[in-house]
Chains A and B, each alone.
Chain A
Amino acid sequence: MKEFAYRRVTEIRDALAAGHGGARYLGGGTNLVDLMKCGVETPTQLVDVRFLPLGEIRETPDGGLAIGATTTNSDLAAHPEVRRRYPALSQAVLAGASGQLRNMATVGGNLMQRTRCAYFADPSQACNKRDPGSGCAAIRGAHHNHAVLGWSPSCVATHASDMAVALAAFDAVVRYETLDGGAEIPLERFYPPVGDTPERETELPAGALITEVVLPGSAVAPRSRYRKVRERASYAFATVSVAAHLEVSRGTVRSVRIALGGVASRPWRARAAESFLLDGPATADRFRAAAETELAAAAPLPGNGYKVPLARNLIAAVLADLAEPY
């Protein structure tokens, strides 16, 4: 590990003033510090943001919630209003990592976490995301858990966050500050397409500090679910996950939102499946056909083809669950 400076800030403007050049914001450090140890991240300074006044969850005028960027994953998942109004979000966070990690991890850090592609974390391997132009070892290598949607020949990695999948389904918005002022980006556009710049992972300007994530008010979000399929019962990243909500009235789909995790470089909002279902009958066949419509665009590699039927089955199962009267 390279030597680095550490600085704790309590004011946003101090954070922004320090967060430039070789500096990195430090949340819980559960991802950043690991990557520093293996030499993938080599910041000159860590700007610890956990003492900024960004640790609250507050009501917004439209009946939504604004979640401060340094809120821990544990506090987010346990918050009574999050559990009541956005259950899939709480479920998604609890499905991630372990209790110890969630106690440390922050909302901002969770959104910004890097991929778990093993080649990315090993500086002796070719990886366009870590070292642009060096190639992608995963495409011809071990890619059992890599993307089937929206990848490019430059990079086939997935985004690992569970939380972000639920946020995508709820149309969340990411707010940030820069030295030039604040702005916001809808989560669905927060992670750009891979293209030939896999190293560019978010639309945040350089040095931007995420301050909060805003969940719009929603009458239907309380009827939502997150289901994560993984190789062991806990403490494993998703192979495929689904966050969804569904409102059915007299057998007809009145509102539906579906986002997939583990299949792409970003949380994958299943817009094609949603429009297929909207105002149509809420039947098992339709759920499956909707999933197939979405996955028609899937392009699996030789080693991860199972993710396509898995995603289809999972979408159909979660929607069927949500369609049951309650």
Chain B
Amino acid sequence: MSMAVHVGAVGVARPRIEGRAKVTGAARYAADEPIPDLAYGALVLATVARGRVRDIDVASVRDMPGVLGVIDHTNAPRLNPEAGNFFGPDGGLRLLQDDLIPHAGRPIALVVAETPEQARAAAQALPVTYDEQPHDTRLFAGHPAGRPALTLFDAPADIGDVDAELAASAVVVDERYGTPEENCSAMEPHSATAWWEGDRLEAVDSNQGPFQIAFTLATLFHLPPERVRVRVDHIGGGFGGKTMCGPQLILAAMAATRFGRPVRVTLTRAEVFLATAQRPATDQRIRIGADADGRLRAIHHDATYEISPLAEYIEGCTELTKTLYAAPAIRTALTVVPLDILPPYSMRAPGAAPGSFALESAMDELAERVGLDPLELRLRNEPGVGPVSGLPFSSRNLVACLREGARRFGWASRDHRPRMRRAGPLLIGTGLAATSFSTGAFPSTATITAEPDGTFTVAIAAADLGTGARTALTAIAADALAVGTDRIRLRISDSAIGPAWGAGGSRGTASWAWAITEAAAKIRGPERPMTATVDTTQLLGDLASRERHAFSAVFAEVGVDPATGEVRVRRLLGMFAVGRVINPLMARSQVIGGMIGGLSMALHEEGVRDPVTGRHVNADFAGYHIAAHADVPDIEADFVPDDEPGVPWGIKGVGEIGNVGTAAAIANAVWHATGVRQRHLPIRLDRVLES
């Protein structure tokens, strides 16, 4: 093997490998794959929040043009109830198994026809009657159905004597913060095409982790894993909404089974909202006690959120509370309230995004009451070790983020009193938030093969959501093999490659890079094999126990028109410590995207339910607002030097840290502008308007 002089690719800013294909329209997404003899499925969703299907009048649509048939609970293939997700068995996956309606928007039938239009027409015409039952879709802390959340992660903590420390505190903040239901809202609606090849179920799907999803699909259909293959192609964003085995895939597989031909199911925008995944609403109480000089004595964070009785789920709101600040007493708890809602699932910085809004708003309130610069308050409470675990941090560069961010933002000249700055009719304010997001890696398998032409095929069942995974992994493989990127042929997006973690939890790149790096080491090792496969399960188990987190500091400036309540962000700056940056160009655009997501969370995003029917009424992009270009101000994002010892390439992952913190920074800036605290998101104009 020739090892020519090699210039490293890791750390170099490079545009996306598939960028040209995307802007010219050549890149294919799941719904674009040409497949012969395709039939199309259209969903029918329940229009009541709870009850039973009384009747589905299939006969009345059977003769509509092109209709091949209807699948509902009376004739659907039986699914395995053991199938689940990261959190355990998931009743959300068991579609069309009975006449029960657990939430509005639950798929209750699939109409299959020769064309998508014919399928949709018949689905719209299909008469369904219901026996409605009383429903409950309203979350609040103290709800009688509340119970402790699963403790798989973000388990409850209780160190020190919170009540005694609070009693001894010179200043106490005790407030409630609320965040609404939000939807992942990826640009590309979910689409799947499924067909049988002999006794193997094949599918092309839009998802974030083909291996895990193939495994779930196999379980659901009582098949051995090797008889199910799921591929993904280019993906138009996921934001967590494509981490689970989606209704499009389950229903396409059912229809392919029943009709004996390939079937494509592409969700409408409304179906993405109503039938895929959402962030649960949260109702959080925070108590913080401090001495007069701002040194914390206690933090108590009680977070309540909603789930569906169909599946467990953890919205880890209190993770940051156990990470960010030193305090002799810290208590956290997560309470779930099962309601008649779509099962929540991980969305953009799950837990951390709503949790940091609560914690970092409360810290700002504390700074106000103590009379301290909010920046100084954070610096004063910097912990040496994990505040709850006592474990050392693998690396912790929050202070660098805060100081460098403050310098660039011009924080030093801030008058910390509220309502002091004006620009014409606008009130101007600034705010900041400190953040963290837990990092790590999950077991993955990679195979590298040295090809006769001098190239290397690098195969791993990764998925590129549009963030640039292909480009990053190509650079990593090139450096790990000490060759140029032109000699790397990356194969991803296929469950048949073998087990691998998906693109989620900010752990995609770290998990995949690890497996690729180890496989490359074997190829370059003394035996010089032509092909090497590595599974990182064992290696990960050997990793030292540490507090592992990415950190950041976010600074925001807002203008508020008190006469209309309109809040517009004028400046946003984020400084990030995310380990080693693999590709500064893409990492920057990813954290900027995250900050825009945080801005949307602060000001716009809200799933609105009808108070009478419990149904969502804004399941589209005209009603569910996400920041438009005009809402996005000058954004600056940069990285402080950082590393992650023990992890190949020092990767921490940039997936979600960009999102966290922005909402609190903006809310704190709105307080600074107006003097009024905003403890409920989104900060709608009717909440700000002064009359």
Contact = CB atoms under 8 A, between A and B. Distances in A.
Interface of A: 1-3, 39, 116, 118-119, 122-124, 137, 140-142, 144, 229-237, 239, 306, 309-310, 312-314, 316-317
B631 A234 contact: yes
Contacts of B625: 231-232, 236
B630 A233 contact: yes
Contacts of B686: 144, 239, 306, 310
Nearest to B425: A317
Given A233-B630, A310-B565, A317-B563, A239 B685 contact: yes
Given A1-B120, A142-B610, A310-B689, 6 more contacts: A39-B124, A119-B617, A137-B613, A309-B689, A310-B564, A310-B686
A232 B682 CA distance: 12
Interface in B602-649: 603-604, 608-613, 617-618, 622-623, 625, 627-631
B544 to A, nearest CB: 46
Contacts of A316: 563
A90 B623 CA distance: 25
Given A118-B618, A313-B563, A231 B689 contact: no
B691 interface: yes
B564 A313 contact: yes
A149 to B, nearest CB: 17
Contacts of A123: 124
B566 interface: yes
A141 B610 contact: yes
A232 B631 contact: yes
For A2, A3, A231, A309, the residue with the greatest tally of chain B CB atoms inside 10 Å of its CB is A231
Interface in B277-336: none
Interface string B674-691: 000000000011100101
Interface string B478-516: 000000000000000000000000000000000000000
Given A140-B612, A317-B425, A317-B563, A233 B568 contact: yes
Contacts of A310: 564-565, 685-686, 689
29 contacts: A1-B117, A1-B121, A3-B65, A116-B622, A118-B618, A119-B617, A137-B613, A142-B608, A142-B611, A144-B686, A229-B685, A230-B566, A231-B684, A231-B685, A232-B603, A232-B630, A233-B568, A234-B628, A234-B630, A234-B631, A239-B686, A306-B689, A310-B564, A310-B565, A310-B685, A310-B686, A312-B691, A313-B689, A314-B563
A142 B609 CA distance: 7
B47 interface: yes
B617 A142 contact: yes
Contacts of B124: 1, 39, 123
Nearest to A117: B617
A229 B565 CA distance: 9
Contact of A2 (B121, B611, B618): B121
Contacts of A119: 617
B563 A232 contact: no
B631 A233 contact: yes
B367 to A, nearest CB: 29
Contacts of B618: 118, 142
Contacts of B564: 229, 310, 313-314, 317
Contacts of B611: 140-142
A234 B631 CA distance: 7
B173 to A, nearest CB: 28
A214 B612 CA distance: 45
Q: Which 4 A-B pairs have the closest CB atoms?
A: A309-B691, A306-B686, A233-B630, A234-B630
Contacts of B604: 231-232
Contacts of B568: 233
Nearest to B687: A306
A116 B625 CA distance: 14
A71 B612 CA distance: 43
A118 B623 contact: yes
Contacts of B612: 137, 140-141
A159 to B, nearest CB: 16
Contacts of B117: 1
A100 B691 CA distance: 36
A310 B611 CA distance: 24
Contacts of A313: 563-564, 689, 691
Contacts of A122: 617
